[in-house]
Amino acid sequence: MTQPSSITILEKTVGISFRKKDLLIQALVHRSSVKERAAYGNNERLEFLGDAVLELATTDHLFRLSEKSEGELTNWRSALVQGEHLAEIAREIKLGEYLHMSRGEEASDGRNKASTLANALEALIGAIYMDQGFERAREFCERFILRHLGELLAKGKHRDEKSLFQEKSQERIGVTPHYNVVTEEGPDHDKIFTCAVFIGEEKVAEGNGNSKQRAEQAAAKAGLKVKGWM
């Protein structure tokens, strides 16, 4: 169980004092943690909620920020909410140190796993929303996540890997790549997909994710590296 002192440190880091401490604790419970899951439930429901809150906060922020087209703003939003970026924010606030997880998960470097950290950050946003409403959740998103837009644009993160891989493939080879699901593993509520990207008959690379879309993005990212198109 999370110690009160640990909660206090995290609350100071994010600048929010929770009225219902149980919400914060639940946001920190990985699905592998049996003991805390029994007492509080794991953070997957809060992650589901936080994902939606983050998307709305990001969309609202970008709509007010720029007169760019819908397509351009969509790309900007994707850069801000992508798992890799969320994981970096989670590392900044040392969120992994507070997570409850099984010994096996921890032994496999679970506290630093990008997907685990990104999910935990979304769960934290969901907990803030439930405890203090949308405005405080929006303020958190702006303070820790949305302020990085300029950096992400400078690095080209607003160009998602699938779009970039397709662009490069058409430009250099004249072929549009396609994707196939190679495997699906795990229960329905926690599936891991493996997708492969092909150029014609050539299987270029594979990628994993907890949705087909994320697995395809991972495959495209790997394909860019294989082809030297980064």
> From the candidates 36, 44, 47, 51, which is the catalytic residue?
51
Tell the burial category of 35 from Cβ atoms under 10 Å away from its Cβ (0-12, 13-18, 19+).
Answer: exposed
Annotated active-site residue 51? The verdict is yes
> From the candidates 122, 131, 160, 161, which is the catalytic residue?
122
DSSP labels for 13-30? HHT---SSHHHHHHHTB-
Q: How far is CA 49 from CA 30, 43, 125, 178, in A?
A: 16, 10, 8, 32
Distance CA 55, CA 65 (A): 15
Three-state SS for 1? coil
Q: Which residues carry out catalysis?
A: 51, 122
